Amino acid sequence: MFRSMFRIVLMFSLSLPVSAMAHPHVFVETRLGLIYNDAGQLEAVRVGWVYDEFYSLLIMEEMRLDPDYDGVLTDDELTQLKGFDLNWIEGFEGDLYIDGVEFAGPVADDIALEDGRIVSTHVRPLAKPLSADQSVTIKAFDPTYYTAYEVAGDIPVEGRQDCAPRLQKADIAAATDLLEELLFAAPQSELEENFPAVGEAFADSVTVKCSA
């Protein structure tokens, strides 16, 4: 469940006079996992996106899934749904960031429907594995804040036993203040096409340190 502050941010944005200010539009609970290779290097990040109920319903309606509305998808329907969110346009970063790190394209991993919410999982291989003793900070965010991500749950580590992920929640109050300042400073006529890039300010961060 998203923190109540995320809902407060949404209600704040909806109260503004310009329709383009109504950000975010989609809420995604993010599940992260770390994958290390035999040399102890970070080689991939497993990413789970749990979409909000409304967006999940829109996707299933668009794809004509679950016609009996029983909240259960058949194996064939799950196969049809798998990878629906991985047809990325050129330049899209997958809303996953590690400073100085390039990722390869996504690899579909799993798909499920949980309590009316689509749970889509994929793996993001690193273009080049990171050194075994290098600490990393991972963030999941949409720069435009059209989609709001919240990292939730445990962060499993595959391939090593000596790594300790630490989740730092975003300062939502400070991020909201920043958003408000940028909205009121920008000409309203430009907001439709140039919404402030505040997504990172709302981003949770995961710092991972492993023993030398």
Distance (Å, whole) CA 43 – CA 100: 14
pLDDT at 188: 65
pLDDT at 112: 97
pLDDT at 9: 44
Global pTM reads: 0.85
pLDDT at 195: 73
Q: What are the residue boundaries of the structural domains of the chain, listed by start?
A: 4-210
pLDDT less than 50: residues of the chain? 1-16, 18-20
pLDDT tens readout for residues 186-201: 666 665 666 778 899 9
Of the candidates 133, 114, 35, 130, the one whose C-alpha atom is nearest the C-alpha of residue 72 is: 114
30: burial class by Cβ within 10 Å (0-12, 13-18, 19+)?
A: buried
pLDDT at 7: 46
pLDDT at 193: 66
pLDDT at 180: 84
Would you state the structure tokens that stand for residue 93, as one six-digit string? Answer: 């970063």
Distance (Å, whole) CA 94 – CA 11: 26
